[in-house]
Structure 1
Amino acid sequence: MTITELLPPDVEPVTLAEVKAHLRLETTEEDTLLTALIHTARLHLESQTGLCLISRLLRLYLDDWPEGRVIQIARGPVQTIEIVTVYDSSGAPVELDTAGYVLDGAARPARLVLPERRATERALNGIEIDFTAGFGESGADVPDTLKRALTLHVAAMFELRGVLSLDDQPGAVPQGYERLIAPHCQRRL
């Protein structure tokens, strides 16, 4: 199972103005760096939690259908299933009818049951499921604890701006960060 991002989010969960207010910065000299740090902090948080903070289009690749009827989608929260494509013996894509699908998008991982499961002839990545995942279209839809974690993380990275290059970030995770994101992390046994 592989998931790729088809379209990046249009906005970040926290704005430059929110971060600057937290840091008590009034000049624009560091705006480019802060914007990049916000992006880095979001990517780090999303990799830690398995969440998409801002809604975007993703694609799940499967080699074959799972043994049970339930397809698990590791990124969430899943809002909608857009398209399900299966590749036939000639390698041509066939779009499946998704009418009547059942989606539990809030579950972690999200769960999907499709009414039709046509066999794929491709050995690898024969099934593609395009879906939209995220809390919403703007930072206002993102839980406050996650926004707070992002702001603290950006501040910690900003503190290290003279020590670490942007490519070496995130260089530090601030105290309290783990506690803020813990309720949103998936734990495995």
Structure 2
Amino acid sequence: MSEPNEEYAVSASPTSEGSIRGGPELAPLVGIVMGSDSDWPVMRRAAEALDEFGIAYEVDVVSAHRMPREMVAYGEHAADRGLQVIIAGAGGAAHLPGMLASVTVLPVIGVPVPLAYLDGMDSLLSIVQMPAGVPVATVSIAGARNAGLLAARIIGAGSGAEATRVRALMAAFQADLSDQAKAKGAALRANVESQARTQPSGG
């Protein structure tokens, strides 16, 4: 495995504090894991979405094929360590999300990471075609931002002060999306009307 990108922290152990984001006083609620550090340019969008909601998370490389024992340990102990959601990204023969889902009681969100060939369709089909009883919530190819937003919704669906806080932020986020869409509609209508006024009338 190549050396990790300096833009994020990859810990030698899933429980290393060096991989935690959100402040040292905050225990991570979301685990963001990937098969290789080369997946980070895609997976960082999940982290950025969680940052918007102030949700603490950890980041790590947990390869299903190159470190299977560590992968199993990560999944088995994730809930005991306080995680509530796992976001797992992988490319090619993307077994990581499904294998984690088979050994954890937590919800797992799978992110298909596109590689040089097949444009990520191999990753998507590897993740989405899970057998009955082992669910993985799969987002679109390279859809890590939606994975982060879905993790935020899962946390917001719980109880307690943190869930209430996240729900309020999600409501504000959705209202902002609506305002942006309405503004785009208004701008489009104004542009069309302006063009209609400047065009010479026929006949």
Higher relative contact order (Cα pairs below 8 Å, separated by 6+ residues)? 1
Query: Normalising by structure 1, what TM-score?
Result: 0.24
Q: Which has the larger radius of gyration?
A: 2
